[in-house]
Chain A
Amino acid sequence: MAKDYQQDFGSVITSRTSFIDEIINLARKSSIFYLLFGLACCGIELMQTGGPRADIDRFGSVPRATPRQSDLMIVAGTLTYKMAERCRLLFEQMAEPKYVISMGSCASCGGLFQYAYSVCKGVDKLIPVDIYVPGCPPRPEALTEGLLRVQDKIVRERWFSERQKIGQVRPGLGVDYKVTA
């Protein structure tokens, strides 16, 4: 992992950002439009996150119905194999730079339905996931924290050509800057 880390993520995550990068990142992190992609019960909690109590709009995140205009795909719920094709398609329709949150156990690894014949064992088998939010389903606050993590990631990035390259080299791999306990 250490070698991969250096190779793939070193230049994006650990490099210093210039002043102009910081301004750009400040704007980008405050305007994360998310794609409405509720698949199961997590979708309800996703709606609640946009609702009055949690109000993700405070961070400049509004839902968009079309993938072309969204920056963040929140995969909320059980991803069946049939939906997996659509998920991949929608992700590919999004414009760079794009991010993915895998919300809840089912999206992260199949969760409760892991042994079901029809359920995809994790959305990271299909598309690169940036943030995993645990929970079944996660509280709105937990999803908000996931969004803040995406913001953390954005402010560390240099401009997205680097990122695009990485997505092609290692799809389906989150960045490991945390240390396991």
Chain B
Amino acid sequence: MQAFLDSLIRNAGHDPATWPWTQFVYLAAMGAVSFAVINFAAITAGIFSWAERRVAARMQSRVGPNRVGPGGFLQWVADAVKLLLKEDLVPDEADQFLFRIAPYFMMVGFACVFVCLPFSHRLIVADMNVGIFYILAVTALIVVGIIMSGWSSNSKWSLFGAIRSAAQIISYEIPAGMALMIPVMLAGTLSTQGIIRAQGGWPWQWYVFNNPAALVAFLIYFISALAEGNRTPFDLPEAESELVSGYNTEYSGMRFSYFFLVEWGNMWIMSALASTMFFGGWQIPGLSPEHFDALTGGVAVLAEVASLAIFAFKTLIFVFIVMWLRWTLPRIRVDQMMNMCWKYLVPASFAGVLFVGVWMLIVHAAPWIGLVMRLGLTAAGALGVTLFALRTLKNIRDTGDKFDFTSNW
């Protein structure tokens, strides 16, 4: 970003090091970028809320919101307008200051992640060299917001939800962090763009198919990300049947909409991170990053758009899987949640890190082993997806129904 601004200033005929307005240009650019990023986050979260409702409805043989705009697409606008206009209640016995400020902590923790999240080859706010570390750090702010909201509401349901959430998020940060270490080890960098560049456009160049430990690491990361985002089957903090609505029980109107927004916005973050770390990010098949850098003119713009589309496509697939999981699995118990983390995910992630260390030595000695493993795992993955698709079609046919996605919208 800074380099881009510097080049602009140079083009205008100034030296960025000595020009007195450089800092103002930086400031204006920061304002514009944060405005754009927060709007992007809010709008994607809104659209995801509509998409999730439609997906949920289809999976329950329903139709879902379809009255506002084409196919109900503007449902999220209606929800947003209504929530903004609703009365903002603060309970009498709540801790007024903490109660009011808690949603902003969540919003900050959520929006800060976008700084290091890539969108395409050049489109990233700041390509930090400690990107992953930064993302793991700022995500923790969300926990602070949740605990603040639960405590300040002065309601037992809120407090239960908040404490559960804290226990859950802090526990699952360990396997998530360890699992993310594996791509970091393979790429040799913490920068998100660096990790994408170290992979390739074709599936066998992705880290997820690099070795068995990386595949397991992806699964561990995905499960932990679900838990950190309070998504089903780990939605214990908002368990409606037990805790009314969890830590946001006492929130109404606009403040509630922040919680709402963070929950759905988190889906983009966890999915974007998954496609960055394990699925080659924005890499275009057949176009290496070095060639990409060398492109100029219209072709460069075209390639940029293509990389953006590829990244968005991969991310949206994970978003869909997250939604799909939510409407498939029931909520697990607290003890099961803790069991899973400490007895399975944490040991497995540590073992994976050790395995990858050894594996890298082996591949360094004999590169053909790495290639065979990558191709084999990719083929296994493709086979798994095919078998799954066939199984799904069989499920449809077994009930005497037929494949029909377009009717009764």
Q: Please determine whether chains A and B interact with each other in the same assembly.
A: yes
| Residues in chain A within 8 A of chain B (CB atoms) | 23-24, 26-28, 30-31, 51-52, 55, 57-60, 62, 64-66, 68-69, 71, 93, 95-97
Q: With the chains together, A55 CA to B85 CA distance in Å?
A: 26
CB pair A65–B244 under 8 Å, yes or no, is yes
Q: With the chains together, A65 CA to B248 CA distance in Å?
A: 11
CB pair B65–A58 under 8 Å, yes or no, is yes
Find chain B residues with CB under 8 A from A57 CB: 53, 57, 62-65
CB pair B86–A60 under 8 Å, yes or no, is no
Name the one of A30, A62, A71 contacting B86, with C-beta atoms under 8 angstroms. A71
CB pair A31–B82 under 8 Å, yes or no, is yes
Q: With the chains together, A59 CA to B64 CA distance in Å?
A: 8
The chain B residue with its CB closest to the CB of A60 is: B65
Q: Which of B38-77 contact A (CB under 8 A)?
A: 53, 57, 60-68, 72, 75, 77
The chain B residue with its CB closest to the CB of A63 is: B240
Find chain A residues with CB under 8 A from B62 CB: 51-52, 55, 57
Q: Give chain B nearest CB distance to A49 CB in angstroms.
A: 11
Determine if B15 is an interface residue (Cβ-Cβ < 8 Å): no
8 contacts between A and B (CB under 8 A): A26-B78, A27-B78, A28-B78, A31-B81, A58-B72, A60-B67, A62-B53, A95-B88
The chain B residue with its CB closest to the CB of A94 is: B252
Name the one of A24, A51, A60, A68 contacting B250, with C-beta atoms under 8 angstroms. A68
Determine if B87 is an interface residue (Cβ-Cβ < 8 Å): yes
Q: Give chain A nearest CB distance to B93 CB in angstroms.
A: 13
Determine if B256 is an interface residue (Cβ-Cβ < 8 Å): yes
Determine if B206 is an interface residue (Cβ-Cβ < 8 Å): no
Q: Give chain B nearest CB distance to A68 CB in angstroms.
A: 4
Name the one of B60, B77, B88 contacting A52, with C-beta atoms under 8 angstroms. B60
Determine if B325 is an interface residue (Cβ-Cβ < 8 Å): no
| Residues in chain B within 8 A of chain A (CB atoms) | 53, 57, 60-68, 72, 75, 77-83, 85-89, 240, 244-245, 248-253, 256
Q: With the chains together, A93 CA to B86 CA distance in Å?
A: 13
Find chain B residues with CB under 8 A from A23 CB: 81
CB pair B240–A65 under 8 Å, yes or no, is yes
Find chain A residues with CB under 8 A from B86 CB: 71, 95-97
Q: With the chains together, A141 CA to B64 CA distance in Å?
A: 16
Question: Which of A23, A26, A28, A60 has the most CB atoms of chain B within a 10 A radius of its CB?
Answer: A60
Chain B interface main SS type:
loop
CB pair B63–A55 under 8 Å, yes or no, is yes
Q: Give chain A nearest CB distance to B307 CB in angstroms.
A: 36
Q: With the chains together, A56 CA to B256 CA distance in Å?
A: 22
Q: With the chains together, A156 CA to B83 CA distance in Å?
A: 19
Given contacts A71-B86, A95-B88, could you give 6 more A-B pairs where the C-beta distance is less than 8 Å?
A27-B79, A27-B81, A28-B85, A51-B60, A60-B67, A66-B244
Question: Which of A28, A58, A69 has the most CB atoms of chain B within a 10 A radius of its CB?
Answer: A69
Q: Give chain B nearest CB distance to A171 CB in angstroms.
A: 17
Q: Give chain B nearest CB distance to A86 CB in angstroms.
A: 13
Find chain B residues with CB under 8 A from A64 CB: 245
Q: Give chain A nearest CB distance to B407 CB in angstroms.
A: 15
CB pair B61–A52 under 8 Å, yes or no, is yes
Find chain A residues with CB under 8 A from B61 CB: 52
Question: Which of B60, B81, B240, B253 has the most CB atoms of chain A within a 10 A radius of its CB?
Answer: B81
CB pair A68–B75 under 8 Å, yes or no, is no
Q: Give chain B nearest CB distance to A38 CB in angstroms.
A: 13
Find chain B residues with CB under 8 A from A66 CB: 244-245, 248-250
Find chain A residues with CB under 8 A from B89 CB: 68, 93, 95
The chain A residue with its CB closest to the CB of B250 is: A68
Find chain A residues with CB under 8 A from B83 CB: 31
Q: With the chains together, A51 CA to B86 CA distance in Å?
A: 27
Find chain B residues with CB under 8 A from A62 CB: 53
Find chain B residues with CB under 8 A from A58 CB: 63-67, 72
Q: Give chain A nearest CB distance to B245 CB in angstroms.
A: 4
Q: Give chain A nearest CB distance to B153 CB in angstroms.
A: 10
Find chain B residues with CB under 8 A from A69 CB: 245, 248, 251-252, 256
On whether A95 and B253 interact (CB within 8 A), knowing A24-B81, A60-B79, A65-B245, the answer reads: yes
Question: Which 6 pairs from chain A and chain B are nearest by CB?
Answer: A27-B81, A95-B87, A68-B252, A95-B252, A30-B78, A27-B78
Find chain B residues with CB under 8 A from A55 CB: 57, 62-64
CB pair B251–A68 under 8 Å, yes or no, is yes
Q: With the chains together, A95 CA to B254 CA distance in Å?
A: 11
Q: With the chains together, A112 CA to B253 CA distance in Å?
A: 38
Q: With the chains together, A58 CA to B408 CA distance in Å?
A: 12
The chain B residue with its CB closest to the CB of A29 is: B78
The chain B residue with its CB closest to the CB of A50 is: B62
